[in-house]
Amino acid sequence: MTGIQNCIVFEPPFVVTHIMRGKNVVVLTGAGVSAESGVKTFRDNDGLWENHRIEDVATPQAWQADPKLVWKFYQARRRQMNEVEPNSAHVAIAKLESELDNFTLVTQNVDDLHERGGSSLVIHMHGRLQTLRCEKTEQTEHRMADDDLNDDYAYCNCCVNAHRMRPDIVWFGEMPMEMEEIYESVESCDFFIVVGSSGHVYPAAGMVNVAKSVGAHTILVNYEMPINGSDFDEIHLGKAGEILPKLVEDWLMR
Ligand code: APR
């Protein structure tokens, strides 16, 4: 165990004494939780942003300027969803949910691996790959049939004259989803746990400070020290799929 600034960094074998039963727990996940399933993160070596410029594929301006490029980028990621499986970190988080009465899972991830790992209530603050959004009405539809996954545009079922659909993704410059509900949970939590996020993207990266301001104990599980590491009370460095199952077991001890 080593002390870095104001937080404690745990290295295996670690000792954890928190009992989370009866407490309000919020978990916020990022791309790192899906890394061991084979889904690329954004900012690691060979991450998505090493091969693509954010401005070219993840902004409303990019969709305006070159929708075909943006569409192909997200279609490739939508197709990949059919090839990957949840890993033991997703399952451990689902176990935490199933054992606690007051639990909220917020994810920045647009995949459905938390749901397939057993989580029943997942707040996708950056949208979802499985759904598409009508450009005219903004209604979303679950569209994962084979026909929906090729590189041709998809058209909605909600309008009389079907309109083109866009990825149901929160792009840079757009408002994240369900923020009111998220802040309500964070502002009343006893434990705030972040798994697999580099802390670069706000407002997600700032939620640890909101949790701290209401006296919550803040915990990070991440492969390496993130940019906002010093905001956490307790840090566990390593692969989430390897260390989270044991942590969850400890947190749920009676
Ligand atoms: N276990 C735990 N953490 C891991 C693992 C793993 N197996 N593999 C990688 N990580 C960590 C990395 O060390 C990194 O700190 O996960 C973090 C992933 O960071 P990012 O790629 O920046 O992903 P994220 O924080 O989720 O990005 C936030 O940025 O581009 C946007 O909208 C996109 O939702 C995304 C947002």
Domain residue limits, the chain: 1-39+85-126+177-254, 40-83+127-169
Per-residue pLDDT tens digits for 178-199: 999 999 999 999 999 999 999 9
Q: Tell me how far the alpha carbon of residue 42 lies from the centroid of ligand 1, in angstroms.
A: 6
pLDDT band at 46 (very low <50, low <70, confident <90, very high): confident
- Measured by CA distance, the residue closest to atom 4 of ligand 1 is 32
**Structural fold of domain 1-39+85-126+177-254:** Rossmann fold (3.40.50)
How many Å lie between the centroid of ligand 1 and the Cα of residue 112? 16
pLDDT score of 99? 96
Residue nearest to atom 28 of ligand 1 (CA): 201
- 239 CA → ligand 1 middle, Å: 12
Q: Whose CA is nearest to atom 21 of ligand 1?
A: 42
Query: Which atom, in ligand 1's list, is nearest to the CA of 221?
Result: 2
Domain covering 40-83+127-169 assigned CATH 3.30.420.40 in the classification = no
pLDDT, residue 15, reads 55
Note the pLDDT tens digit of each residue in 56-100.
Answer: 999 999 999 999 999 999 999 999 999 999 999 999 999 999 999
What is the predicted pLDDT for the residue at 44?
Answer: 83
Please say if 236 is a catalytic residue.
Answer: no
Whether 1-39+85-126+177-254 shares its CATH topology with 40-83+127-169 is answered no
Chain-wide mean pLDDT for the chain? 93
| Cβ of residue 30 lying under 6 Å from some atom of ligand 1 | yes
Residue of minimum CA distance from atom 34 in ligand 1: 108
**What are the distances in angstroms from CA 187 to CA 108, 167, 183, 192, 220?**
18, 31, 6, 10, 18
pLDDT per residue as tens digits for the range 18-41 = 889 999 999 999 999 999 999 999
